[in-house]
Amino acid sequence: MELKESTLKTLSTRRFPIYFNLKHDGSFFDWTEIFIDNESRPVFPIILDNHRDLAEISDDDKQLFKKMRESRYNIEIIEKSKADLNIDNENFIKMAFELGIVQDLLLICPKNELHSNENYYQDIGGFSHKLFYLTYLDDLINPDDWGALKDKYNFKSLEIQNHLNEMNPILDIDLDYFIYHRDNDKFVIHDNNFKKIFSVLCDLTIEKFIFSRIKGLVISLESDYCNGPLNCKEIFMNVLDFLKVEIGLIDEDSDLKIKEWASQELGDL
């Protein structure tokens, strides 16, 4: 168990890493570590977020990433380069594209409906990265059929299944995803709906999305974007309870240490 101010890393009972971050841009470094630890095969993040985090990055950063790629992902060079990166919550996804640790990704975000035509990103090396979009995770819960999803989102389920097989899938969750409602003001999602959503994500037999092959789980608190620590705390405890009790990914010892770490941001848990 590694304990830092902004990041906590532990192992699940199924032996893949679980990362907890105060801020979502910590995902960049988590993805990089998973990429290196899994024979430098590209990671395929499945991201739940209330924000798209797809801001442009500077030409200087692109040149730095080109140098990092040419080092063949030497971990020492990557570590030394961290301080020079202008990484933040809005641009870390495209930074991961530029470094080459992410080939494609699936982004589940309520704001996607405004940007559904942005299906590709080309990095400085000329490589093309595909962005699969869903507007609401609700669309994965008992959809009429995959054909309807294809018509709405312009991708086939087989494409996602191939990515799960050929790359290193990562489930990446920003807790502010659960602070939304389609029509009314923001609110914390009800407990029964929350567990229904997580059941879809973590079910090991469902044909729609098979997460039995995930190589890592990343969870970012982002209490400011959760409308404050109290809302974030409620969501976080739901997440922790589900991971520990419902699907058994966290043991008792890890549960205590995770709560100790999160208390720095959320108060006593």
SS3 18: strand
Q: What are 37-65's pLDDT values in tens digits?
A: 888 888 889 888 888 888 788 888 777 77
CA-based R_g, the chain, Å: 18
CATH code for the domain in which residue 44 is found = 3.40.800
The number of domains in the chain is 1
Residues 6+ apart with CB under 8 A from 50: 109, 110, 111, 174, 176, 177, 179, 180, 225
Going by pLDDT thresholds of 50, 70 and 90, the confidence category of residue 138 is low
Range of the domain at 57: 2-266
CA angle 61, 6, 60 (to 5 degrees): 5
Residue 209: the pLDDT is 46
- Bigger pLDDT: 178 or 80? 178
Whether the Cβ atoms of residue 34 and residue 171 lie closer than 8 Å to each other:
no
Residue 115: the pLDDT is 54
Whether the Cβ atoms of residue 25 and residue 87 lie closer than 8 Å to each other:
yes
**pTM of the predicted model, to two decimals?**
0.83
Tally of CB atoms within 10 A around 229: 15
Determine the length of the chain. 269
Q: What are 193-248's pLDDT values in tens digits?
A: 666 666 656 553 333 444 567 889 999 999 988 888 888 898 899 888 888 887 78
Which position has the token pair 């990562």?
170
